[in-house]
A and B are shown apart, each in its own frame.
Chain A
């Protein structure tokens, strides 16, 4: 993840430098500890809601991990790429492997009815901490039930036409393919270069209103819907920022001010 896009990073960095000198401006950055704590609070509510988020440790180590959610989306066989020919036929000699003698599923629901129309695409969302950008990054991939990953074009084709128009102007153009830094598998990533654009106003508003903000929640509720990930409204009421003592890097005075008005309950 690190160092891939010096160019963008460079555009992004100068803002942070000015942040360091101007203590009144809200910082768009997040240290890893706060990331973990914010995720923890988010996960707590998710498990309360049964919303499907979980913390995945990598190689069983406490140190590395990410927040993950899998969502299945039904799709029609005929109209979608999830069952396209290239995905299932590898040689075209499948027919040779068929065995009629096994055909006696008397009590099964007639497969044509049950299986036709009942294909699905699996969307997998990962929230990772990026050390180089010092912010959370959303990775995702979509795959068929056979395990084949969809190309970005196929993912795009699965987006409802009503949304396509809007997304073209929005942050869809920041989606890029990257190797998952922890799994080493190809994933799509919402590039962090636009994060500051929407986090700064949100954080500044919250600061002005002396409200505590859970960075993960605010961020995810903006970037999630872009790639079909919903964040139920009840998170906003239930999930606050980590307790002030945990915010090691925040100036003590401002942290306590923001936390005293609204803490996690």
Chain B
């Protein structure tokens, strides 16, 4: 029944018309063959690449290769000639139950050579060799000569693009082959007994030949029995030459057509015995196992009348170049960069590795949000290096460094993006060297850039000359541009005052700021509060609370947030920044200090811990629906349902390495903050650089006067209130 439906579908009107031979009944129909369809395994291309790089190099001379075909396919599969990685080992084993086909590889060095090589001549040469082998009887001894192929390739190994063109040379009868008896399924012609005898005879032949497949064989059968013999025993095997039956190991699955390997066999028969043989019965032997059950009854059998070629001496005309996927006479091509280009492989591996987290552990993790985040790292030292590495671990592709220092001998051991060689001859610029190393570690980091520049600081005057002033202005503009072009700003510098400018700029631009700072064995990692966008009505700032140093702050927050107290449920827009806890403005912290006070002297593990926490905090914030506006989690929330798939979104992580302990405090923005208070932001937004340069050039009293800190100092001193209440412990 299945067979019938196939027969019907094969009588496709288009097909018949295209062919010109509509159904006229048996006797007038010409036999048609299903051409081979080339099938290449990825391993073949890998191996060809290796051969080209290591053995062939510029050698274009023809090479012997080997393919195979199989007669056990389920219906619907194309008739294939397969080449795998073992194709270059001509003497290697053929897969079990497959027939080998030998071929010649022409690998050209240029696409031009591929284009201009004379395909007709290549085919003619191969065809006449087949014809020679038929005439000399060599093909009888070794019938696999009848199944040769040519493979033309050009490998563009820069792009991992491969062009290829197969040819399966077949000699043809100029007038075609007349079908005498139309193809039928073997089960329609043979009894079950005959079929099993045939199977036995074929298996016996394989055993005798010490192989698992025989490409061509001779058959004799009666009601009771079937016998088979190899091709070269023709004369002895067939006593009656009127009608002979030949078997061909047939890779085709079409119910009406034999596959390509039959073509050259029929030429051989016509050339050797065309004068004597009347009719040739052809068994297209198909032998498959489905679900553990072997079957040959779907083989097809038919009879043809062969023209007599025994008198002809010239090689018959030949065909065989394969059409491309568009059905045109042209080469095929394949782009394998995804599985062969090491850079592409690294990228997909990194991404897949990250996806594992989502598949197995955190199904709701939004990885794209993390991967596409543009990160600006201010500082490429101990913290910067560790933050960058951890960002790469998360698959972040866009990492920008800002630093003005050079790599010194003490750096590489603590700063994992640098090596000893980077310190030589005065040392490379950190910002540039860091980018270079990132690309080496993972070429997928395409958007890595370094900026060797200084960040102007309060209390570090820039008004020595026109030039220094101009430079400072350009630096500010550059930093403004950079912050605008990124999503997250990491503050990873080694001084307090250098964090002031980016805090103001990023605060004004409403960018997420993640700040990490180290002590000797303590650290703080925090996100800055993110003010509401300028358009939105700012809720009354918590002016009643005057910061952490005042006892009056124990009054509850505004009525809009009844649950919010000073230390819990603080929304992102009311959180403080790095400077909010200070009652002095940032100034020159390196002046009048000994060397050990100027440098960051910290336990070596601290930067790794803090750097990693800074990145993980960013990732957790990104997973929160409200991002930087998310309510701050505190240590008390550790037992509650976490707000994101990755857990808590704290305001600060303060770590104490001596105790191996972290706490998660949260604090409100301070309305007299020297960096993020409304008055500072407003001055910056209104006046721009003139205001900033005033800050750089003045002592800390300028900012303190502006924000009202000076007044606060005077008040507190006057009142002499120093009542640190007991409940204010963290």
Give which listed residue, B120, B159, B360, contacts A101 with CB less than 8 A.
B120
**CB atoms of B329 and A103 under 8 A apart:** yes
**A-B pairs with beta carbons under 8 Å apart, 20 shown:** A50-B97, A54-B95, A54-B96, A88-B332, A98-B324, A99-B329, A103-B329, A106-B172, A107-B172, A109-B32, A110-B18, A113-B15, A114-B35, A147-B45, A148-B335, A148-B339, A149-B339, A174-B359, A232-B291, A232-B292
Residue in A closest to B161 when the chains form the complex, CB atoms: A90
B133 within 8 Å of A by Cβ?
Answer: no
- Which residues on A are within 8 Å of B, measured CB to CB? 5, 8, 47, 49-52, 54, 72, 74, 83, 86-91, 94-115, 118-120, 122, 124, 141, 143-149, 151-152, 173-174, 176-177, 179, 183, 185-186, 191, 193, 230, 232-235
Whether a CB of chain A sits under 8 angstroms from the CB of B486 is: no
Residues of B within 8 A of A (CB): 10, 12, 14-15, 18-19, 30-35, 37-46, 72-80, 95-97, 114-115, 119-120, 123, 156, 159, 161-163, 170, 172-173, 176-177, 254, 257, 263, 289, 291-292, 294, 319-321, 323-336, 338-339, 345, 348-349, 352-353, 355-356, 359-360
Residue among A5, A146, A183, A232 facing the most chain B CB atoms (10 A cut-off): A146
B37 and A112 form a contact (CB under 8 A):
no
Q: Which residue, A91, A110, A152, has most C-beta atoms of chain B within 10 A?
A: A110
Q: Which listed residue, A100, A141, A176, touches B329 by the CB 8 Å rule?
A: A100
B534 CB, nearest partner CB in chain A, Å:
42
Across chains A and B, which 3 residue pairs bring their CB atoms closest together, nearest first? A98-B330, A74-B76, A232-B292
B residues within 8 A CB of A232?
291-292
Question: Given the complex of chains A and B, what is the CA–CA distance between A179 and B32 in angstroms?
Answer: 44
A113, B14: Cβ atoms under 8 Å? yes
For the complex, what is the distance from the CA of A95 to the CA of B328, rounded to whole Å?
9
Q: Are A94 and B333 in contact (CB under 8 A)?
A: yes
Residue of A at shortest CB range from B83?
Answer: A147
Chain B residues closer than 8 Å to A90, beta-carbon distance:
156, 159, 161, 163, 333-335
Tell me the complex Cα distance, A50–B96, Å.
9
Q: Are the C-beta atoms of A97 and B330 separated by less than 8 Å?
A: yes
Contact of A145 among B38, B177, B257, B323 (CB under 8 A): B38
Q: Are B77 and A98 in contact (CB under 8 A)?
A: no
User: Which listed residue (A50, A147, A235) contacts B294, Cβ 8 A?
Assistant: A50
The number of inter-chain residue pairs (CB within 8 angstroms) is: 204
Inter-subunit contact A97/B334 (CB<8 Å): no
The one of B39, B96, B176 that contacts A122, using a Cβ cutoff of 8 Å: B39
Q: Would you call B37 and A115 a contact (CB within 8 A)?
A: yes
What are the residues of chain A within 8 A of B45 when measuring CB–CB?
Answer: 147
Interchain CA distance A124-B173 in the complex, whole Å:
40
Question: Cβ of B15 and Cβ of A147 under 8 Å apart?
Answer: no
Residue of A nearest to B160 (CB): A90
A42 to B298, CA, bound (A): 28
Chain B residues contacting A174 (CB-CB under 8 Å) are 359-360
Q: Give A87 Cβ to nearest chain B Cβ, in Å.
A: 6
Q: Residues of A contacting B360 with CB < 8 Å?
A: 8, 173-174, 191, 193
Across the interface, name the chain B residue whose C-beta is closest to A54: B96
**A109 with B292: CB separation less than 8 A:** no
Complex CA distance for A124 and B339, rounded to whole angstroms: 15
Contact indicator A107/B31 (Cβ below 8 Å): yes
Q: In the complex, what residues of B have CB within 8 A of residue A120's CB?
A: 39, 77-78, 80
Given A147-B42, A147-B45, the answer on whether A106 and B176 have CB atoms closer than 8 Å is yes
Q: Check B40 against A146 for contact (C-beta < 8 Å).
A: yes
Closest to B159 in A: A90
Given known A110-B18, A114-B34, contact A122–B41 (CB-CB < 8 A): yes
Determine how close the nearest CB of chain A comes to the CB of B596; give it in whole angstroms: 38
Inter-chain contact A185/B335, CB cutoff 8 Å: no
User: In the complex the two chains form, is A105's CB within 8 Å of B35's CB?
Assistant: yes
- With the chains together, A113 CA to B254 CA distance in Å? 11
Report the minimum CB–CB distance from B131 to chain A (whole Å): 17
- Distance, CA A107 to CA B316, complexed state (A): 13
A106 x B319 contact (CB < 8 A): yes
Q: How far is the CB of A186 from chain B (nearest CB, A)?
A: 5
Whether the pair A102, B120 counts as a contact (CB closer than 8 A) is yes
B254 proximity list for chain A (CB < 8 A): 109, 114
- 13 new A-B contacts, CB < 8 A, other than A98-B329, A148-B338, are A51-B289, A94-B331, A97-B330, A105-B319, A106-B172, A118-B37, A118-B78, A176-B359, A185-B42, A186-B339, A186-B345, A186-B349, A233-B292
Interface contact A86-B335, CB-CB below 8 Å: yes
CA distance A108 to B170 in the complex (A): 10
Partner pick for A141 among B42, B75, B324, CB 8 A cutoff? B42
- List the A residue with the shortest CB-CB distance to B256: A109
- Of listed B78, B292, B355, residue having the most chain A CB within 10 A: B292
How far apart sit A147 and B79, CA to CA, in the bound complex (Å)? 16
B39 and chain A: residue at smallest CB distance: A145
- Most A-side CB within 10 Å, residue of B37, B38, B263: B37
> Roughly how many angstroms separate A186 CA and B350 CA in the complex, as a whole number?
13
Q: Which residues of B contact A111 (CB under 8 A)?
A: 35, 323, 327
Whose C-beta in chain B lies nearest to the C-beta of A105? Answer: B319
Q: How far is the CA of A47 from the CA of B95 in the complex (A)?
A: 12
**Nearest CB to that of B85 among chain A residues?**
A183
Is the pair B289, A50 in contact by a Cβ cutoff of 8 Å? yes
Chain A minimum-CB-distance residue to B260? A108
CB distance from B18 to the nearest CB of A (A): 5
CA distance A94 to B163 in the complex (A): 9
- Is A143 a contact partner of B77 (Cβ separation < 8 A)? no
Q: With A103-B329, A177-B349, A230-B291 given, is the CB distance from A110 to B80 under 8 Å?
A: no
A179 to B352, CA, bound (A): 12
B356-A176 in contact (CB<8A): yes
How many whole Å from B41's CB to the nearest CB in chain A? 6
Contact status A88-B333, CB under 8 Å: yes
Q: Whole-angstrom distance from the CB of B203 to the nearest CB of chain A?
A: 11
Q: How far is the CB of B291 from chain A (nearest CB, A)?
A: 5
Q: In the complex, A124→B42 CA distance in Å? A: 11
Which residues of the other chain, B, contact A108 by a CB distance below 8 angstroms? 32-35, 319
How far, in angstroms, from A118 to B34 measured CA to CA in the complex?
11
Residues of B within 8 A of A99 (CB): 119, 321, 329-330
- Which residues from chain A contact B359 at a C-beta distance below 8 Å? 173-174, 176
How far is A11 from B151 in the complex, measured between Cα atoms in Å? 51
List chain B residues, Cβ under 8 A from A146: 40, 332, 334
> What separation, in Å, do the CA atoms of A106 and B177 have in the docked complex?
11
Task: Check B77–A234 contact: CB distance below 8 A.
Answer: no
Contact B76 A118 (CB under 8 A): yes
- The CA of A114 and the CA of B378, in the complex, are separated in Å by 63
Contact between A94 and B37, CB atoms less than 8 A apart: no
Chain A residue at minimal CB-CB distance from B78: A118
A87 close to B76 (CB less than 8 A): no
Within the assembled complex, what's the spacing in Å between the Cα atoms of A235 and B339? 35
> Within 8 Å CB of A115, what residues of B?
37, 78, 323, 327
Complex CA–CA separation, A23 to B637 (angstroms): 43
- Say whether B333 contacts A89, CB under 8 Å: yes
Contact check, B78 vs A83: say whether CB atoms are below 8 A apart: no
Q: Which residue of B lies closest to A188 (CB)?
A: B352
Q: How far is the CA of A118 from the CA of B78 in the complex (A)?
A: 5
Tell me which residues across on chain A come within 8 A of B44, comparing CB atoms.
147
**Chain B residues, Cβ within 8 Å of A152:** 352
B177 contacts across to A, CB distance below 8 A? 107
Cβ contacts under 8 Å, A176 to chain B: 352-353, 355-356, 359
Contact (Cβ within 8 A) B77 A72 = yes
- Chain A: which residue is nearest B344 at the CB level? A186
Contact yes or no, A97 B163, CB < 8 A: yes
Closest chain A residue to B330, Cβ basis: A98
A47 surroundings in chain B (CB, below 8 A): 96
Q: Tell me the complex Cα distance, A54–B328, Å.
A: 37
The distance in angstroms between the C-alpha atoms of A109 and B33, with both chains bound, is: 5
Give bound CA distance, A203 to B726, whole Å: 62
A91 contacts B32, CB within 8 Å?
no
Closest to A141 in B: B42
Assess the A49–B292 pair: CB atoms within 8 A. Answer: yes
Give the docked Cα–Cα distance between A234 and B339 (Å): 37
Contacts of B336 in A (CB 8 A): 147-148
A54 CA / B39 CA spacing, docked (Å): 20
| Given contacts A87-B334, A147-B41, A74 and B77 within 8 Å (CB-CB) | yes
